[in-house]
Chains A and B, each alone.
Chain A
Amino acid sequence: MGLDITWAVDWVRRSAQVVSDHRIELITLDREIGDGDHGENMDRGFQAVLPKLDDLHAGSTPGDVLKLVATTLISTVGGAAGPLYGTAYLKAAVAAGDSVSLDAEAIAGILTAARDGIVLRGKAEPGDKTMVDAWTPAVDAATAAAADGADALGALQAAASAAWEGAAATEPLVARKGRASYLGERSAGHRDPGAESSALLLQAAADAAAASAGA
């Protein structure tokens, strides 16, 4: 079963909820190796998206929802996370195109586009201790799952699971991009907050897909 507009809207609502629930945790992670604003900024951004969901017209597509998230995050989040997540959602929206229903292959495609957008803007590579370290394994897992015949739900669950492993794997890394890089060796031993928020958002996507499948 493909994922449609209902899934996309539910993903956004769940994202806003999970970011709000983990606001303090993200602030704490960021304070340890950055400047302590990540949870606050992400919460502000997703709370700003919520009322805009009501403006979606009949016949809107998942791509329309992703574009709405992109423009809202770019104009409300600030910091590095605003342009990075904004670009991710924008590239994902372009990849989703006019499709009304996304299958596993399409899901892998939008995740790939999102990851590529983050890399393009932030110029980080895997192992730099950034959100790319959650996104890249997620993209690989979703692509592999789609190739193995998983449905869209399966692809997202594989992506979320890999994102969590990727976020956890940032802990021993020494940061080479972003504000944590100023710490050098002292950045090791802390999880990257951007990787953590990426895993939270991908988990929300999988949870929304599971809810759609159950409905």
Chain B
Amino acid sequence: MSVKKIINDPKRVVDESVAGFGAAHADLVRVEMDPIHIVRADAPIAGKVGIVSGGGSGHEPLHAGFVGFGMLDAAVPGAVFTSPTPDPILAATKAVDGGAGVLHIVKNYTGDVLNFETAADLASVEGIDVRSVVTNDDVAVKDSLYTAGRRGVGGTVLVEKIAGAAAERGDSLDEVAEVAERVNANARSMGLALTPCIVPHAGEESFTLAEDEIEIGIGIHGEPGRERIKLEPADGLVDRLLAPILEDLPFESGDRVLLFVNGMGGSPLVELYIAYRRAAEVLGERGIEIARSLVGNYITSLEMQGMSITLLKLDDEMVELWDAPVQTAALRWGR
């Protein structure tokens, strides 16, 4: 595969992209370049819990695309696929502290957890009340003593939206953290890749797949998944993702869910809706009610072709918070 990218200098990818993001969405955010972080334009908001998330770049619109009214107060982008260091996380935490404390939403990857932990310790020393919620919704990884635990993937977007709405309506830090934990505990995801992705500074594919091969159970960093199979029609692929998701929580007849079909960055919406159609069919057969839906590229892996499916078992409060107004670059309704 030839490596064609719309970039200038591989070392400047994140800086230049964030600068562009700030320029494009100056009504929503302000961008600080040293250390690099993106803050909601009206932060800090007195008396409101601040919500900070972050992680390696390359997953756009996650997380910067979710900064704004009703969602995140700040996003901290690291280098591509690399956790940010504690310095910008601390800077973002201070920038959004309105006196009610700050929630860190951290995807469960060793680097993210270590750097956010360090930043939270530093923020505490400075008198900021910080709580952390670590998302780990990926059923592809066995959660055992023998792994770093399940990864945080698609469910992270839902945690950010719902916790963001809780903070926006004035919930306390404990309450926001509780609802964030509840969403994470009720979300399950799994993804697949049709193609690898190419990290700009590496310039080579993250893994290699034969023409007719796909990778099941991928994460969001181009890391290989849990098995490699021959490409199948869409319905079969959806079934392969849904089966382990459904049995894991488990999701059962009578449950109300949010069905989130997410593109990995390189698959067109026309294909994601084919997948959604099949997923809805399967859930219908099982008596599971799809109360809310989300389809699109929200947590991506550069130009990877592929998708992930996330199911969130909803309760009344989650539905109310999901429906609450949100105004960010990537999610916007009700306002």
Decide whether A and B are members of one complex: yes
Q: Using CB atoms and an 8 Å cutoff, list the residues of chain A in contact with chain B.
A: 27, 31, 34-37, 40-41, 44, 74-84, 121-122, 174, 176-179, 181-184, 186
* Interface contact A178-B85, CB-CB below 8 Å: no
* Interface contact B148-A177, CB-CB below 8 Å: yes
Q: Which residue of B is nearest A178, CB measured?
A: B110
Contacts A36-B204, A82-B85, A179-B221 known; 4 new A-B pairs at CB < 8 A: A34-B223, A36-B199, A37-B80, A179-B223
Query: B202 at the A/B interface (Cβ < 8 Å)?
Result: yes
* Interface contact A77-B85, CB-CB below 8 Å: yes
Tell me the smallest distance from the CB of A34 to a CB of chain B, in Å: 6
* Interface contact A80-B204, CB-CB below 8 Å: no
Count residues of chain B with CB under 8 A from any CB of chain A: 39
Q: What number of residue pairs across chains A and B have CB atoms under 8 A from each other?
A: 114
* Interface contact B115-A122, CB-CB below 8 Å: no
Contact of A184 among B56, B199, B226 (CB under 8 A): B226
CB neighbours (8 Å) of A181 from chain B are 141, 146-148
Q: Which residue of B is nearest A36, CB measured?
A: B202
* Interface contact A81-B148, CB-CB below 8 Å: no
* Interface contact A182-B148, CB-CB below 8 Å: yes
Tell me the smallest distance from the CB of A92 to a CB of chain B, in Å: 18
C-alpha gap A201/B5 in the complex (Å)? 34
Q: Which residue of B is nearest A128, CB measured?
A: B146
* Interface contact B110-A78, CB-CB below 8 Å: no
Query: B224 at the A/B interface (Cβ < 8 Å)?
Result: yes
Query: B172 at the A/B interface (Cβ < 8 Å)?
Result: no
Given A78-B85, A80-B110, A176-B147, answer yes or no on A182-B219 (Cβ-Cβ < 8 Å).
Answer: yes
24 A-B pairs within 8 Å (CB atoms) are namely: A35-B199, A35-B221, A35-B223, A36-B204, A40-B82, A74-B118, A75-B85, A76-B85, A78-B83, A80-B83, A80-B109, A82-B83, A82-B85, A82-B115, A83-B117, A122-B110, A174-B146, A176-B147, A178-B148, A179-B219, A181-B146, A182-B141, A182-B223, A183-B226
From B81, B82, B222, name the one whose CB has the most chain A CB atoms within 10 angstroms: B82
Q: Which residue of B is nearest A86, CB measured?
A: B118
C-alpha gap A77/B79 in the complex (Å)? 9
Top 5 nearest A-B pairs (CB, nearest first) are: A83-B114, A79-B111, A80-B111, A181-B147, A35-B221
C-alpha gap A167/B308 in the complex (Å)? 35
CB neighbours (8 Å) of B148 from chain A are 177-179, 181-182
Query: B277 at the A/B interface (Cβ < 8 Å)?
Result: no
Query: B273 at the A/B interface (Cβ < 8 Å)?
Result: no
Query: B142 at the A/B interface (Cβ < 8 Å)?
Result: yes
CB neighbours (8 Å) of B206 from chain A are 31, 35-36
CB neighbours (8 Å) of B219 from chain A are 179, 182
CB neighbours (8 Å) of B224 from chain A are 183, 186
From A81, A83, A174, A186, name the one whose CB has the most chain B CB atoms within 10 angstroms: A83
* Interface contact B79-A37, CB-CB below 8 Å: yes
CB neighbours (8 Å) of B141 from chain A are 181-182
Given A80-B114, A179-B110, A184-B142, answer yes or no on A31-B207 (Cβ-Cβ < 8 Å).
Answer: yes
C-alpha gap A181/B224 in the complex (Å)? 11
C-alpha gap A37/B86 in the complex (Å)? 18
* Interface contact A83-B204, CB-CB below 8 Å: no
C-alpha gap A74/B307 in the complex (Å)? 34
C-alpha gap A162/B37 in the complex (Å)? 42
From A40, A44, A78, A81, name the one whose CB has the most chain B CB atoms within 10 angstroms: A78
CB neighbours (8 Å) of B142 from chain A are 184
From B78, B114, B115, B219, name the one whose CB has the most chain A CB atoms within 10 angstroms: B114
Given A34-B223, A181-B147, answer yes or no on A78-B82 (Cβ-Cβ < 8 Å).
Answer: yes
Tell me the smallest distance from the CB of A140 to a CB of chain B, in Å: 24
C-alpha gap A31/B208 in the complex (Å)? 10
Tell me the smallest distance from the CB of A143 to a CB of chain B, in Å: 27
Contact of A36 among B81, B110, B114 (CB under 8 A): B81
* Interface contact B114-A84, CB-CB below 8 Å: yes
C-alpha gap A34/B82 in the complex (Å)? 11
- Which B residues between 74 and 119 are near A, CB-CB below 8 angstroms? 78-87, 109-111, 114-115, 117-118
Contact of B222 among A36, A83, A174 (CB under 8 A): A36
Tell me the smallest distance from the CB of B227 to a CB of chain A, in Å: 9
CB neighbours (8 Å) of A122 from chain B are 110, 114
CB neighbours (8 Å) of A34 from chain B are 223
Query: B270 at the A/B interface (Cβ < 8 Å)?
Result: no
* Interface contact B199-A37, CB-CB below 8 Å: yes
